């Protein structure tokens, strides 16, 4: 089952956990089975509709996702040994 923190982090992400046989801690809730397939691809940026402590609908939080992408540092792969040799050889 999938459980999720009902309160979003400041970046809009929701902490989440896929597991079996546990009771969700305070502030977390089980994502209904019928919503799991829809929720998983959206994690962690998902907008939850909650009624009486239960999740009734989920939606993509595209705004938070884009903001997080922009905030992420661009990872430049370090050159491999082959890259270095090629650079030295001028290839």
Partner 1 sequence: MAYTKHTWLARLGTGLNKFLNSGTSTNLVLTPNPDSITQQGSPFSATWMNEMEQGIYNGNTLTGTSAPTTSTAGVVGQLYLNTANGYLYKCTAASTTYTWANVADLFTMLSALSSSTPSTTSKLPFYNGSSAYYFTLDTLITTIGAAKIVTGSYVGTGGVGSSYPNQLSFSGAPQMVMVYTDYYGASSSTSSLSGKWTVTRILLAKGVSSIPSEAGNGSTVNYTLSTSSASWYTNSGSAGQMNTSGTTYYYIAFIVS
**Residues found near partner 1 in the complex (CB under 8 A):** 3, 5, 9, 11, 13-25, 28, 40, 43-45, 68, 71-72, 75, 77-78, 80-82
* 3-state secondary structure string across 48-81: EEEECCEEEEEEECHHHHHHHHHHCCCCCCCCCH
Tell me the Cα Rg of the chain: 20
Least spacing, CB of residue 6 vs partner 1, in Å: 13
Q: Between 17 and 56, name the residue whose CB sits nearer to partner 1.
A: 17
Least spacing, CB of residue 16 vs partner 1, in Å: 5
Q: Are 13 and 60 in contact (CB under 8 A)?
A: no
Least spacing, CB of residue 25 vs partner 1, in Å: 5
Q: Between 51 and 76, name the residue whose CB sits nearer to partner 1.
A: 76
Q: Between 77 and 90, name the residue whose CB sits nearer to partner 1.
A: 77
Residues 6+ apart with CB under 8 A from 43: 14, 16
């Amino acid at each position: 089952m999938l459980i999720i923190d009902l309160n979003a982090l400041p970046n809009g992400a929701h902490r989440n956990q896929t597991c079996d046989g546990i009771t969700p801690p305070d502030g977390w809730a089980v994502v209904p089975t019928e919503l799991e397939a829809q929720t998983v691809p959206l994690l962690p940026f998902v907008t939850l509709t909650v009624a009486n402590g239960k999740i009734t609908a989920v939606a993509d939080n595209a705004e938070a996702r884009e903001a997080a992408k922009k905030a992420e540092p661009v990872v430049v792969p370090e050159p491999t040994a082959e890259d270095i040799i090629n650079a030295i050889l001028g290839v």
